Amino acid sequence: MGKVWSFLRTQPGLWSDGLNIFVYQHSNAPDSPILWDFGVEGTGAFETAGEVYVTETPGSEAAVAVHQGPYDRGMTNPAPALVVSDGQRAALEVLSKSRTASHREVQRAKVLLMAAEGLANESIAKVARTSPGTVRAWRARFEAEGLAHLGEVRAGRGRKPVIPQSTIDEIVDLTRNSRPEGQTHWSVRTMAAKVGVSPAQVQRIWAARGLKPHRVDTFKLSNDSRFEEKLIDVVGLYLNPPEKAIVLCMDEKSSIQALDRTQPSLPMTKGRAETMTHDYKRHGTTTLFAALDVATGKVIGSCLPKHRHEEFLVFLKNINKEVPPGLDVHLILDNYTTHKHPDVTAWLAKNPRFQLHFTPTSSSWLNLVERWFRELTEKALRRGAFHSVPDLINKIEEYLAAHNTEPKPLIWTATADSILKKSSPRPRRPRSHQTKRRHTTWGPRQGTRRPQMSRIRLALQGLFRMAQADHNARLTE
């Protein structure tokens, strides 16, 4: 750092005779007693700290520049250097360079490090962009408490709530336990009108607690008495398929409509997406029977006019032709009545290599072919225009052929135990952040995940504990 000068201009009691600078007791110098005599060898810029440069003529009030050395302590009598142990200094240095700690902690760490070097409070305040009184308060708190409460705000400080806690509690209670008259859920405006606050305040209160009354999640619990048995059977086929066998996920996509648009569509251009009319013409329906090979991802499919047991038998015979002889066929399918028709049962008795595995009721998510049906709908059906049922069948068969050219298997990863653990009813455990209050304007944050601690935060905690132990040991000596 270069030369630093502290300028003192025409201060009462500071006089010069050209060779010496005198500090008098009163401003009516030189009649009052001399308190201090700064010897001056001459005028000019000096390199040694403490030397003085005189800029006024002898016998008049002096305007001088005092060389402070490599550091600008901002005043002639700075506060003594802050006593910091090696452990505390190490913790403060790590915290002052942290990019994950809060700004309050980083700022205080830098202030304490500068105070430990002996810089004056005024100079520290300029660098840290705070007031000298704040610097003195942080120094005093560190001398009394060490690093134990470095980043904490004292009680009574900080931003004050703009609305009382009782109003916040009322908003939360109304949101959870009541509904507006004639409506199914609250909005920020209806709640604001009810309680007498602004919609923005209601939004912040809801966001702080993870409350979203405008959203609803759907669910369906299976009431199958053999749910666990069927689940273990199907998942076992996914995770541990039998040898010398093929596992097929089979289902029907019924009533696929051949929809034609009422007006021609326009192609996509720059700045405009492809267009299609919202209304359509119906030309009939078809049913797709599909069986997905779990190992390879290939699909065996047939479009038939209906989905009775007769069509199901036709599709079973088609599978029997497609699967090489010598392989057992494990067929995963739902509990549709056509799958258990007496004619189907009789055919299965004549073809013992076919073994049916039924999914639990209301558990279509357990059948992998449902995922393939979604791909078919999104990529070939939803935006298509079909002039007739044969046209629809041709487009489905084109997609089926393209898919089987480069099939990609769907990998099942969930175990039966993990699924049973999630589906079993259990009491909800209260979260720690729901029972502890945070000193914020909008109260405790609920319904959010606690951020994972970074490695530097864990290291800082260890350094803080060591530094605090050194501080307590000094206090007991």
Instruction: Give 71-120 pLDDT, tens digit per residue.
Output: 343 444 567 888 888 888 888 898 888 888 888 889 989 999 998 888 88
319-325 mean pLDDT: 91
Segment (H or E) for 111: helix 103-116
Contact yes or no for 30/22 (Cβ under 8 A): yes
Average pLDDT of the chain to the nearest whole number: 78
What gap in Å lies between CA 414 and CA 416, rounded to an integer?
A: 7
What gap in Å lies between CA 325 and CA 321, rounded to an integer?
A: 9
SS3 150: coil
Contact yes or no for 43/53 (Cβ under 8 A): yes
Q: Which residue has the tokens 């065996």?
A: 300
Q: Which residue has the tokens 């010069």?
A: 16
Amino acid making up residue 89: R
User: In this predicted structure, what is the pLDDT of residue 78?
Assistant: 66
308-336 mean pLDDT: 92
SS3 71: coil
End-to-end CA distance of the chain: 39
What gap in Å lies between CA 257 and CA 370, rounded to an integer?
A: 18
Task: Write the DSSP assignment of 178-200 as a string of letters.
Answer: ---TT-SS--HHHHHHHHTS-HH
User: In this predicted structure, what is the pLDDT of residue 153?
Assistant: 75
Angle 353-358-359 from CA coordinates, rounded to 5°:
145
Contacts of residues 454-462 at CB distance under 8 Å and 24 or more positions apart, as own/partner, are 454/100, 456/94, 456/98, 456/100, 456/101, 457/100, 457/101, 459/94, 460/91, 460/94, 460/95, 460/98, 460/101
What gap in Å lies between CA 367 and CA 249, rounded to an integer?
A: 6
DSSP 8-class letter at 477? -
More confident residue, 120 or 439: 120
What's the pLDDT band for 148 if we cut at 50, 70, 90? confident
User: In this predicted structure, what is the pLDDT of residue 144?
Assistant: 86
- Say how many CA atoms lie within 13 Å of 227 toward its Cβ: 14
What gap in Å lies between CA 97 and CA 88, rounded to an integer?
A: 15
pLDDT tens digits, 323-371: 998 899 999 999 898 899 999 999 999 999 999 999 999 888 999 999 9
Structure tokens that stand for 318 in this block? 């088609």
Its pTM stands at: 0.56
Pick the range with the lowest mean pLDDT from 53-62, 251-260, 455-464: 53-62
What's the pLDDT band for 449 if we cut at 50, 70, 90? very low
User: In this predicted structure, what is the pLDDT of residue 57?
Assistant: 40
Residue 55 neighbours by CB under 8 Å, 6+ apart = 43, 62, 63, 64, 65
What gap in Å lies between CA 59 and CA 37, rounded to an integer?
A: 15
Give the total residue count for the chain: 477
Task: Write the DSSP assignment of 212-277 as a string of letters.
Answer: -TT----------TTHHHHHHHHHHHHHSPPTTEEEEEEEEEEEEEEEEESSPPPPPBTTB-----
